[in-house]
Amino acid sequence: MDRTTNGEGRVRDLTLAQIRSLSAGYPDRFGSAFAGERVLTLSEALELMRGRARVLIEYKSDTVTPDQASGIESRTIAEIRRAGMVEETALVSFDRRALLRARDQAPEIPRAHLFLRAAPEEVLEGAREVGCSVVIPEKGMLSEELCQLAREAGLKVATWVVDDVGELRSLMRLGLYGVGTNLPGVLLEALADET
């Protein structure tokens, strides 16, 4: 809670009521511009996004438990289905267990595998194992070789976090499917200026 709210502590140690009482305006980044914003539940966030945008939901590794039947994966998938957003949502994670469970529980929901450090062969192996259509290596991992091998395997390649316009322009040569950014407006404006 310390990073993006005016509260302290770990989410897992707080009740929903405690979390909802905090301002989630990310004061370290935005000052008081978004003071008073509240943390949404997944159900509320999906309702807000339905029909307006595609949604990527990341399973953080520390949320993945040994409980397959009622773990984070099955609860997330249930919310996606309840919201009627199967076709508007993709599930992403570094954690292969989470992606395997998502594949088994909801093969119709696309998956993307995140990587921090891995050889190109490991990326392809991970993608094959979890049956994902997109791989998302950290930008420092990107290479012509990795992108070419991924394309030959029928995979799309995206990356993260690209907040600099010059860096985005440099990466465009790789023909990426997408980039994760904290500044989508800035990057979209820069791309629009080039067309």
Q: Which of 7-16, 42-51, 96-105 has the lowest mean pLDDT?
A: 7-16
What's the pLDDT score for residue 70? Answer: 86
Q: Which of 29-43, 46-60, 75-89, 107-121 has the lowest mean pLDDT?
A: 29-43
Whether the Cβ atoms of residue 109 and residue 90 lie closer than 8 Å to each other: yes
Q: Which of 14-23, 27-36, 100-109, 154-163 has the lowest mean pLDDT?
A: 27-36
pTM: 0.89
Query: In this model, does residue 41 exceed pLDDT 80?
Result: yes
CA distance 98 to 159: 20
Query: In this model, does residue 195 exceed pLDDT 70?
Result: no
Tokens of 116: 């921090």
Give mean pLDDT, residues 109-130.
96
Which residue do the tokens 């799309």 mark? 156
* pLDDT tens-digit map of 71-106: 999 999 999 999 999 999 999 999 999 999 999 999
Q: Is 3 helix (H, G, I), strand (E, B) or coil?
A: coil
Query: In this model, does residue 194 exceed pLDDT 80?
Result: no
CA dist list (Å): 193 to 66, 157, 186: 49, 24, 11
CA distance 102 to 108: 9
Comparing C-alpha atoms, which of 142, 144, 155, 145 is closest to residue 115?
142
Comparing C-alpha atoms, which of 55, 93, 101 is closest to residue 75?
101
Average pLDDT of the chain, as a whole number: 94
What spatial distance separates the first Cα and last Cα of the chain, rounded to whole Å? 40
- Specify the DSSP class assigned to residue 94: S
